A = this chain, B = another copy of it.
Amino acid sequence: MMRTKLLSLVPRATVACRHMSSATKLTTVEVNDKTGIATLTMNRPPVNGLNLELLRDLQQSIEEIEGNKSCGLILTSSNPTIFSAGLDILEMYKPDKERIRAFWTQLQDVWLALYGSSVPTAAAINGHSPAGGCLLAASCEYRVMLPKFTIGLNETQLGIVAPQWFMSTYLSILPRREAERSLNQGRMFTTEEALRVGLVDEIASSKEEALAKCADFIATFAKVNPLARSLTKQQFRSADLQQLENERVQDLEKFLFFINQPAVQKGLGIYLESLKKKSKN
């Protein structure tokens, strides 16, 4: 029998929304006047490969949206067929010792900021979304996807192991049996399969419709006290967030150990050669 008057304890969500300009070159932030929702667009041609700079811009944009007490965050891509192709391979091939540490640490920070965001988050998945791209989408609270694309944590297909926090992110969305099986398989889901299993929540026929459906989801919080909401979300996610906070150094060292294996470096080199040849044709 507690009621809405308690809302006066903290400012209403609909009050605090403001316009924000683009944060940087590799991401843009646009705030809708009417809804107060911020759209965060990844814009690093050709495939939104997650390199150090894009990750930095992502984090700054998330923090900007967070700091301005936006009504919500919608993550999307400026590329018409790729949401994000995942981690940029050039960050990992013959890496500079300092830069690669900064790179992985930055990826950890982006996840901590997005998965732990206090504002409602949704992803308008307007293109393919493998590996790191799927991680970003899955860290949001809601997903709308366009048809004929694919999404999934396909790390094992690439010969690598998705760290614990990738697994936790999957488990926050998928049933345990499905999460384990598809992570073991490195399975890429079609849009329709992703809907069926719960990896995405809705299908939209255009980017505009996807953004609108994300906005509809965020609007379900219109009458919800933002502080109560964010503390409730935190209660669900704090164990996962805390685990990475506690183990982030070991997590970094594990990644560095793996990536510096001669066999891995050799594989990356061969793969990069094949990409160069492709681009010449």
Interface residues of A (CB under 8 A from B): 1-10, 47, 49, 85-89, 92, 120, 131, 141-142, 155-162, 164, 167, 171-177, 179-181, 183-187, 198, 220-221, 223-225, 228-229, 231-233, 235-237, 261, 263-264, 266-268, 270-271, 274
Which of B9, B47, B89, B156 is within 8 Å of A229, CB to CB?
B156
For A131, the chain B residues whose CB sits under 8 A away are 1-2
Which of B172, B181, B274 is within 8 Å of A176, CB to CB?
B172
B172 in contact with A225 (CB, 8 Å):
no
B270 in contact with A162 (CB, 8 Å):
no
B9 in contact with A184 (CB, 8 Å):
no
Given contacts A162-B232, A224-B185, A235-B167, contact A1 B87 (CB under 8 A): yes
For A156, the chain B residues whose CB sits under 8 A away are 224-225, 228-229, 232
| A181–B142 CA distance with the chains assembled, in angstroms | 9
Given contacts A9-B159, A228-B156, A267-B5, contact A171 B176 (CB under 8 A): yes
| A65–B120 CA distance with the chains assembled, in angstroms | 44
A161 in contact with B4 (CB, 8 Å):
no
For A85, the chain B residues whose CB sits under 8 A away are 1
The residue of chain B having its C-beta at the shortest distance from the C-beta of A91 within the complex is B1
A161 in contact with B231 (CB, 8 Å):
yes
For A221, the chain B residues whose CB sits under 8 A away are 184-185
| A161–B232 CA distance with the chains assembled, in angstroms | 6
B6 in contact with A228 (CB, 8 Å):
no
For A179, the chain B residues whose CB sits under 8 A away are 236
For A270, the chain B residues whose CB sits under 8 A away are 5
A117 to chain B, nearest CB (A): 12
For A266, the chain B residues whose CB sits under 8 A away are 5, 8
